[in-house]
Structure 1
Amino acid sequence: MGQFDDTLQFIDDLEHASTPEGVSRLLLRLTGNYGLTALMAGTVPSPGTPKSRQRSHAMLCEWPESWLERYVARNYVDQDPVVTYMKRQPSLVRWSAAADRLQVGRSGKRVMGDAGEFKLNDGLAFPLITLEGTVVMVSLGGEMVDISPEALGVIELAATYAVGRALQLQNAHEIFARRPDLTPRETECLKWAAEGKSEWEISQILGISEHTSEKHLLNAKRKLGAVNRVHAVAEAIRLGYIS
């Protein structure tokens, strides 16, 4: 199987992934062929962001936990040559090349040296701009990085698609987590409402009074923030109550 076929198979596998973590594992399985075994993707905290809030900027994280703890504890985001480079010139770059071009000082060398302690000797970083205009920094690293010029495009394409898919799944999970808590009866009433049944017909199907079926639908509309029955049904479908 050629490189193009491998990429198509990778994209197909991503479409079947059900969680952001599953997407991350698939990406690292591919990039591991080039020595890239760790992944970080997220927005870059503003200078001075409290350490307690820096982790919340990470959207995907497959870094060694001990390295992440040290990175946050020592506020390395403000000293990391790769982050600094990406702020100045947002484009695909090798970690080592970013450090060389910036002619980093002692603090930058300390970050790179500490990363090496966790078998992150070199890597790749590039920006990903979402449809909302948010800039996400994607960084892949490893101990023995071996990337040919031809492989750079494949890795960037695969990582871009994977991070986009992971964010899509992440947003879906967040929406699901925020969805209102409908009761089984409210859900049943909405399902029959989606079939075009009236309150009276729903009451006959479920063996309840018409007043009770009306009350269940009103409660469902209120919880869903819907303005009418049609809106409530649409929201219930969007949030997965009706399939």
Structure 2
Amino acid sequence: MKRTSQNLLADTHALMKSFEACRTKADLEEAVRKVSEPMGVTSHLVGIVPNGTVRPRDQPDYVLAGTWPSEWAKRYFARQYVQEDPAIEHARTRIEPLRWDSARATGVGQRILQEACEFGLSHGMTIPQFTLDGLKIGVSFSAIGWTPRRKPRRRFCFWPPPPPIAASSSRRKERAFLPCGSQRASANACSG
């Protein structure tokens, strides 16, 4: 079936309605999972982007939904990485999506990206968004390797549109999702 802008708009509207119906973190996690899992996503996180310094005890409250590994979350909050996370900084100051392998990070930001690889969070992107009431959020997706289970059945319309998670050629897929420690991995991603 040929996709038309009307189909795309209808799919996006249905997605937004499913998010609107969420009443709990579990509801939101399930709604995001239903959309992202067919694209090969293995972990996701939806969180409020902090405007400034966040007290350590308040940091977990900024997570609206997520399936990050629990040991990574413990380390992340214990070390107060929210203050130095390149994905959060990007979401705070930009509107376009950030592929983690293209993040320009040094120091603690670089260490955060490298340590995340230890927990399988090596290939992903963060998409800054706004809620209807103007709250800035970041939606992050991660895939281990890049082994899509099946071709996505639906596409959705967001502004700004995110870059494709998987490029059309296998060579471009390889560049987009390099394994941790790969010789071709970006110096700012999971090399070393």
Scaled to the shorter chain, the TM-score interval is 0.5 to 0.7
Which one of 55, 70, 73 corresponds to residue 68 of structure 1?
A: 73
Q: 1:40 touches 1:62 (CA, 8 Å); kept in 2?
A: yes
Q: CA RMSD in A?
A: 3.3
Q: 1:116 to 1:16 in 2, by over 3 A?
A: same
Which one of 49, 64, 67 corresponds to residue 59 of structure 1?
A: 64
Distance 1:68 1:80 in 2: 13
Larger Rg: 1
1:88 deviation in Å? 2.5
Identical counterparts, % of pairs: 24
Q: 2:45 touches 2:68 (CA, 8 Å); kept in 1?
A: yes
1:74 deviation in Å? 0.9
Aligned to 1:111: 112
Between structures 1 and 2, the one with greater helix share = 1
Verify: 1:40 aligned to 2:58, yes or no.
no
Q: 1:87 to 1:22 in 2, by over 3 A?
A: closer
**Structure 1 residue matching 2:155: 3-state secondary structure:** helix
**Structure 1 residue matching 2:132: 3-state secondary structure:** coil
One-letter code aligned to 1:112: L
How many residues are matched?
149
Distance 2:29 2:117 in 1: 22
Aligned to 2:144: 143
Distance 1:73 1:136 in 2: 22
1:156 deviation in Å? 6.5
Aligned to 1:21: 26
Unaligned runs of 5+ in 1: 158-243
Distance 2:144 2:156 in 1: 17
Q: 1:110 to 1:130 in 2, by over 3 A?
A: same
Verify: 1:49 aligned to 2:54, yes or no.
yes
Distance 1:156 1:109 in 2: 32
Aligned to 1:129: 130
Unaligned runs of 5+ in 2: 159-192
